[in-house]
Amino acid sequence: MPVPNRSYVQGRTERLARRVSKQRSNLVATCDPYADSMQDATVIRHTKKKKKKKKKNKKKQQKKQQKKEKKKKKHKKKKKKKKKKMKKKKKKKKKKKKKKKKKKKKNKKKKKKKKKKKKKSNTAIPLAQGVENSVPWKVGQSLGLQRESARTVDGGCTQNGN
């Protein structure tokens, strides 16, 4: 195999080294001008590719992990919110129930009181003697007076003595 011109190989290797070092500062291309320049270029290219792939994979993995964590956080937040809402709902329900019970009790008491009052007012009110007949019947009725029958007691006069 014929050996290529030495200056040509050197120039090509240097150019290649400059290009690679410009693209990736951490990779320094040190090529032997007497070695096969094509082989050197392949090695550099492969190294570059491998590093790029590794970096890409690392980034991908990081992104995936971040996404996972974000989802977990969101789920946790949602769960917490739901729990809080349910607690609030339960509290509200309990309060409502208590209020209803209280109202029922109050109404029952009120009804009882009303009934007692009504019962009390039905009893006849004792009036002074002789007033009963002077009170108009409707008023007397509302006062709980009984209409007196015109029965006569000995001597032809009524029970009231009129």
Q: In DSSP terms, which residues pair with 67 in a beta bridge?
A: none
Residue 157 sits at φ, ψ, to 5 deg, of -105, 160
- Residue entry with tokens 């040190």: 30
Rounded mean pLDDT of the chain? Answer: 71
Q: Inform me whether the pLDDT recorded for 29 exceeds 50.
A: no
pLDDT at 14: 83
Task: Please report whether residue 35 resides in a domain.
Answer: yes
Instruction: For residues 64 and 45, give the distance between their C-alpha atoms in angstroms, rounded to a whole number.
Output: 28
Residue 14: how many other CB atoms lie within 10 Å: 13
Task: Please report whether residue 59 resides in a domain.
Answer: yes
Instruction: For residues 9 and 32, give the distance between their C-alpha atoms in angstroms, rounded to a whole number.
Output: 9
Q: How confident is the model at residue 91 (pLDDT cuts 50, 70, 90)?
A: very high
Tokens of 147: 């209409």
Task: Please report whether residue 160 resides in a domain.
Answer: no
Rounded CA Rg of the chain: 56
Overall domain count for the chain: 1
Q: Inform me whether the pLDDT recorded for 86 exceeds 80.
A: yes
Q: Which domain holds residue 49?
A: 1-88
pLDDT at 61: 92
CA atoms within 13 A on the CB side of 97: 6
Instruction: For residues 7 and 37, give the distance between their C-alpha atoms in angstroms, rounded to a whole number.
Output: 12
Task: Please report whether residue 25 resides in a domain.
Answer: yes
Q: How confident is the model at residue 137 (pLDDT cuts 50, 70, 90)?
A: low
Task: Please report whether residue 113 resides in a domain.
Answer: no
Residues of the chain above pLDDT 70, percent: 52
Q: How confident is the model at residue 150 (pLDDT cuts 50, 70, 90)?
A: very low
Q: How confident is the model at residue 64 (pLDDT cuts 50, 70, 90)?
A: very high
